[in-house]
C-alpha cells in the first residue's frame, strides 16, 4: 500500500487544470514557508486554517480528491478546488467540478485565469497551489 504524503513537492496534476504551462505560477515555496512558520509557532493555527464555509463546502462537494493528508491536522485528505475567473463569469469566479467544464472554458477566446486551492474541509487549512492562464484560443 502506498503511503500518504503531507504535501511535499509533487508532480501530479493539481485540481482540474491542464498540464503545466509556461505561464504557470506555482506556490509550493510559499506553502512550505507558511507551514514552517506554523510549526515554529510564528503563525497560529487559526491564521492558517481560515477557510470560509463555502470553500470548505466546495472542497467536499466539487474538489478533486488527492491522496495527501492535511499537513496541519494530519487526519483528513486535502482536496484541490479549481476556480476560474474572467470575462462573462461571475464576479466570485466559477468553481469547476468536471474536466469537460474546464475544457469548454479553456476553448474560449477570452483570456481566463485558473486557480487551484488546496483545502482540508475538516480543519480549514487552505493554500493557493497554482495559477495559470486559460482560454485565449
CA 72 to each of CA 78, 119, 129: distance values in angstroms, whole numbers, following the listed order: 10, 11, 16
Better pLDDT: 16 or 1: 16
Q: Spell out where 3-121 has E strands.
A: 25-26, 64-69, 77-85, 94-96, 111-119
- pLDDT tens digits, one per residue of 23-53: 688 899 999 999 999 999 999 999 999 999 9
- pLDDT tens digits, one per residue of 94-136: 999 998 999 999 999 999 999 999 999 999 999 999 999 998 8
Amino acid at each position: 500500500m502506498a503511503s500518504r504524503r503531507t504535501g511535499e513537492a509533487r508532480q501530479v496534476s493539481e485540481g482540474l487544470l491542464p498540464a503545466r504551462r509556461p505561464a504557470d505560477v506555482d506556490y509550493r515555496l510559499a506553502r512550505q514557508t507558511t507551514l514552517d512558520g506554523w510549526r515554529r509557532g510564528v503563525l497560529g493555527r487559526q491564521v492558517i486554517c481560515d477557510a470560509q464555509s463555502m470553500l470548505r463546502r466546495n472542497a467536499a462537494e466539487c474538489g478533486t480528491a488527492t491522496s495527501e493528508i492535511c499537513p496541519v491536522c494530519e487526519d483528513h485528505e486535502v482536496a484541490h478546488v479549481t476556480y476560474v475567473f474572467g470575462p462573462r463569469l461571475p464576479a466570485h469566479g466559477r468553481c469547476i467540478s468536471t474536466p469537460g467544464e474546464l475544457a469548454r472554458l479553456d476553448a474560449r477566446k477570452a483570456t481566463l485565469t485558473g486557480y487551484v486551492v488546496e483545502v482540508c474541509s475538516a480543519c480549514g487549512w487552505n493554500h493557493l497551489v497554482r495559477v495559470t492562464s486559460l482560454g485565449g484560443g
